[in-house]
Structure 1
Amino acid sequence: MKNLAIIPARSGSKGLKDKNIKMLNEKPLLAYSIEAAKESGLFDEIMVSTDSEKYAEVAKQWGAKVPFLRSQELSNDTASSWEVVKDVIERYRSLGIEFDTVALLQPTSPLRSSEDIINGYEVMREKIANFVVAVCEMDHSPLWANTLPVDLSMGNFIRPEVVTMPRQSIPTYYRINGALYIIKVDYLMKTTDIYSEKSYAIIMNKENSIDIDDQIDFTIAEVLIKN
């Protein structure tokens, strides 16, 4: 099988300026995803999808390919990651290059390891899956969460059955962590719901699942990497 890794790194981050190339422990953020992809040994091509010549140069310095820049239409806040992935696939096809699978590696997950990627592909092989997505255990159960009325009343905030539930009986909840998505190209290009058919989870630990959105996340990642 021919495997493609796509690292989406558009410029213009509003929460943290130039987040995707911001230096994290002496490396630009996107370099961590490039290195993890390379270390996995699974990919025929590792590319960075960006709208920025500056970002493209950084990506190339760390060993990724940038065969084309992303269009402005797909570089705004409303464009989805899967629209970007499909566009990359079509543009490779126009060059006569086909792939069997695509791994989407968000650069905002710098602690995702090559082992996590390998484990994801193992799940795909063992389950004969169309789609594999990384999840991690939630820090707090959503059973202890609710919306609040205007007057901030806590009446009926927690369902009665949860209040009396022994802690060990509370089920474990997971969330998609954004670190790893692996999908078969044919399946992606034909389906309207990637979770609908033969889709499976890979469970990652909390430390590897950190997703950088703001400066606090960035600082936490830096501490974890240094220690």
Structure 2
Amino acid sequence: MKNIAIIPARSGSKGLADKNIRPFCGKPLLAYSIEAALASNCFAEVYVSTDSGKYAEIAGQYGANTPFLRPAQLSGDTASTWEVIKDALQKYKALGKSFDSVMVLQPTSPLRTAADIVKAYALFEENKADFVVSVCETEHSPLWANILPADNSMQNFLSKELLDVARQDLPLYYRINGAIYLVGTDYLWKQPDLYAGRSFALKMETQRSADIDTEVDFLAAEFLYQFYQKNIKNKKCGKLPISSKK
């Protein structure tokens, strides 16, 4: 297969200003997704979709391509990721380049690794999948969550069946962690509901499922990255295929 990795990195961000190029443990945040994509050896093209010439220049320093900038109409808060992906694929086609699959790697998931990318493609091929999405276990069971009435009463907050159930006996729930979206390009064009076909989950560890949106998210992800790097040096955990080059 001929595959493309697309890393969406627009310059506008209401939560954290310029978070996609903010220094994260010594490198711009988007560099980690670029390096993981390149280290996986899964892609014919690694493209950073951005509306900023500055972002494109930084992406190029870490080995990504940006042969065209994202149009203004797809650079606001209301544009969907899949609209951005389809626009990029059309522009590549106009350049004479077509792809069998596209993997979306959000720069806000810096703990996703080359090994995760390779596993996603193995899952995709083994299952003849249309769509693969990364997930992780939820931090808290949704069975212990509910809405509150106006008076904040807890009277019917939990179902009676749950009152005597130990936490460890609850079923496992998973959430989409935003790290990997892998889809066949033909399927992307013909199916508006990507989950409707042969869609499968790639399980990732919750601790590596950072999805940076706030200052606290950013600092927590940096702490976890440094923790993993320290334990790699001490040989207390398996090697994370994230480059440490600056």
Same-fold call, TM cutoff 0.5: yes
Q: CA deviation at 1:163?
A: 1.2
Q: What's the TM-score once normalised by structure 2's chain length?
A: 0.91
Partner of 2:61: 61
Alpha-carbon separation, structure 2, partners of 1:198 and 1:115? 22
Alpha-carbon separation, structure 2, partners of 1:32 and 1:192? 30
SS in 2 for 1:188: helix
Q: CA deviation at 1:164?
A: 2.4
SS in 2 for 1:112: coil
Alpha-carbon separation, structure 2, partners of 1:188 and 1:138? 28
8 Å contact from structure 1 (residues 33, 107) kept in 2: yes
Alpha-carbon separation, structure 2, partners of 1:67 and 1:91? 9
Partner of 1:32: 32
Q: CA deviation at 1:107?
A: 0.2
Partner of 2:242: none
Partner of 2:84: 84
8 Å contact from structure 1 (residues 113, 208) kept in 2: no
What amino acid is the match of 1:119?
Answer: K
8 Å contact from structure 1 (residues 51, 75) kept in 2: yes
Alpha-carbon separation, structure 1, partners of 2:28 and 2:133? 25
Alpha-carbon separation, structure 2, partners of 1:74 and 1:132? 24
Q: How many residue pairs end up in the alignment?
A: 227
Q: CA deviation at 1:168?
A: 3.6
Alpha-carbon separation, structure 2, partners of 1:98 and 1:35? 22
Alpha-carbon separation, structure 1, partners of 2:189 and 2:49? 18
8 Å contact from structure 1 (residues 34, 62) kept in 2: yes
1:93 equivalent in alignment to 2:93: yes
Partner of 2:120: 120
8 Å contact from structure 1 (residues 211, 217) kept in 2: yes
1:138 equivalent in alignment to 2:134: no
Q: What's the TM-score once normalised by structure 1's chain length?
A: 0.98
1:194 equivalent in alignment to 2:189: no
Gaps of 5+ in 2: 228-246
Q: CA deviation at 1:12?
A: 1.1
SS in 1 for 2:4: strand
1:13 equivalent in alignment to 2:13: yes
Alpha-carbon separation, structure 2, partners of 1:152 and 1:166? 25
Alpha-carbon separation, structure 2, partners of 1:169 and 1:59? 46
8 Å contact from structure 1 (residues 6, 104) kept in 2: yes
Alpha-carbon separation, structure 1, partners of 2:168 and 2:57? 51
**Percent of matched pairs sharing the same residue:** 57
Partner of 2:52: 52
1:185 equivalent in alignment to 2:185: yes
